[in-house]
Structure 1
Amino acid sequence: MYEYKKRIGFSECDTDRRLSVTALIDAFQDCSTFQSEDSGVGFDVLQSKNLVWVINYWELEIDKLPYLCDYVTVGTYPYSFKVCFGLRNFYMKDEKGEYLVKANSMWTLIDSVEIKPVKAPDFIHEAYTVEDKLDMTYNPRKVLIPKDEDVTVTQKDPVHIQIHHLDSNHHVNNGQYVKLALSQAGDPEVSHLRIDYRKQAMLGDVIYPVVYSTGDERVVALNDEEGNPFSVSQFILK
């Protein structure tokens, strides 16, 4: 496994001075980036071979979020490679070593020239140690739109994708989808979330959010103008 320690900064916190969910996902993404770079299979190496990892799915179990100035340990490791897919766990622990958050994720290795999935080559397998997956909930990857009669459906104002939404891959950053979805749902406090990434949003795209509310569940579809989702997120409220 790969770990790094950090202290929660003011810029990472929400209005209650707790680590925001978006900053949590950013910390997880940083952790896997650090592992890849330190293992010799970072951005430059993959780019030289026209390869890039693209996120398909997140699932997070949140026991509690750390507060401003808390010290935490962030960790990650892959637990399976299946042809073009990489399955990876993440976690955040407090100073006592207790789990604060556990996460599962699915990634696809893409040929950036042919724009198609490719089997992970041997040098990627050799760079990582595959470990047993974390003890947590593992739901199906696809997040379904609720169809129950008691679901309240709310169309939200369109969101125009701007340069600050993008990352170095020139599409909307993974965490930005979560930030957008949470804000459309009213920034609730959540105990469990799933994010199903369907397609990439680019600069100039317009996102049409739709919120489905029932009981303690919020599902947010971030759609294109034809109603096809860029992502579908499920939030279970505390």
Structure 2
Amino acid sequence: MYSFDSRIRYSEVGEDRRITLNAILNYFQDCSTFHSEDVGLGIDYLAEHKKVWLLSSWQIVIDRYPSLCEKVTVSTWPYDFRKFLGSRNFTLTDGEGRMAAYANSLWAYMDLETNSPALVASEQIEGYHLEEKLDMNYAPRKIKLPSDSRIQEAFPVRPHHLDTNHHVNNGQYVQMAMEWVPEDFIIRQMRAEYKKQAVLGDMIIPRVHAADEVYTVALCDEQGEVYVIVEFQGTEKGTCTF
């Protein structure tokens, strides 16, 4: 297991002084990046071998949103490698060791020269040390967008949406999708299924469906092909104790 300690910063909280979903996602993403860098399998290693790990799906569950200045520990570990896929768990615990949020993720190992999946190299498997998968309720990876979803106003990919892979960062997609979640809705689970990459200048056309305690947002290209589908499950603020 790889872990690092932190403290909830002002830049990571919303109007309610609690950490945002996007900040939790960023903590998890940073933790996996730190892990890769510290075992010598980070960005430079991948660039040298012309490979990249692309996120295929997220499932993040939030039991409690820690408050401003709370001390937290972020942890991650891989639990499975299979052909060109890798699976990784994450946890966010508070200063007393109580679980606040946890996640499952699936990643695809890609060859940048052929733009196709590549078998995970033995040095990757040896470097990461597989551990037992987290005891949690694992949701399906696939997300279905209801047929009666509604098209919303299109917008372009901006420079601040991009990461070191020169396409939209996985967390930025989730932030985009949250624009259609009401402010009084407390997200308890977020699932995301990533299908294709958006780059600078691409137009994104949202398709949104709202149902009881579930909001589903597909971010699509101009031909209707899906970049990502994001599903938010939760409760109204009036029924929430955080």
Does residue 165 (structure 1) correspond to residue 161 (structure 2)? The answer is yes
**AA matched with 1:162:** R
Aligned to 1:15: 15
**Under a length normalisation based on structure 1, what TM-score does the superposition of the two structures give?**
0.96
| Pairing 1:6-155 to 2, within 5 Å after superposition | 6-147=6-147, 153-155=149-151
**Alignment-derived partner of residue 198 in structure 1:** 195
In the alignment, what sits opposite 1:237? 234
Contact 1:61 1:136 in 2 (8 A): no
Q: How much does 1:164 deviate? A: 0.6
Which amino acid in structure 1 is aligned with residue 187 of structure 2? V
Give the structure 2 partner of residue 184 of structure 1.
180
Amino acid at match of 2:203: V
Q: Which runs of 4+ in 1 moved over 6 A?
A: none
Aligned equivalents of 1:27, 1:64: Cα separation in 2: 15
Unaligned runs of 5+ in 1: none
Structure-2 separation of matches of 1:135 and 1:23: 23
Deviation string for 1:123-175 (max 9, x for gaps)? 1011011111111111111111124xxx6x33221121110110111100110
RMSD value, Cα: 1.1
* Mapped partners of 1:108, 1:23: distance in 2: 23
- Listed as ranges, the gaps of 5+ residues in structure 2 are 236-242
2 CA distance for matches of 1:162 and 1:146? Answer: 28
Query: Which 10-residue stretch deviates more, 219-228 or 103-112?
Result: 219-228
Which whole-Å CA distance do the structure 2 matches of 1:76 and 1:143 have between them?
Answer: 24
Task: Give the conservation status (yes or no) of the 8 Å contact 1:185–1:211.
Answer: no
Q: Which amino acid aligns with 2:215?
A: R
| Offset of residue 214 of structure 1 | 1.0
Match of residue 214 from structure 1: 211
Superposed CA deviations along residues 87-127 of structure 1, whole A, max 9, x for unmatched, are: 00001001110110110000000111111100111110110
Distance 2:21 2:215 in 1: 15
Q: How far did residue 44 of structure 1 move?
A: 0.3
Q: Which residue of 1 aligns with 2:170?
A: 174
Q: TM-score, normalised by structure 2?
A: 0.94
Task: State the alpha-carbon separation in 2 of the partners of residues 222 and 189 from structure 1.
Answer: 21
Larger mean Cα displacement after TM superposition, 49-58 or 10-19? 10-19
Q: Which moved more, 1:71-80 or 1:40-49?
A: 40-49
**Alignment identity in percent?**
41
For residues 201 and 112 of structure 1, what CA distance do their matches in structure 2 show?
Answer: 16
2:239 is aligned to none
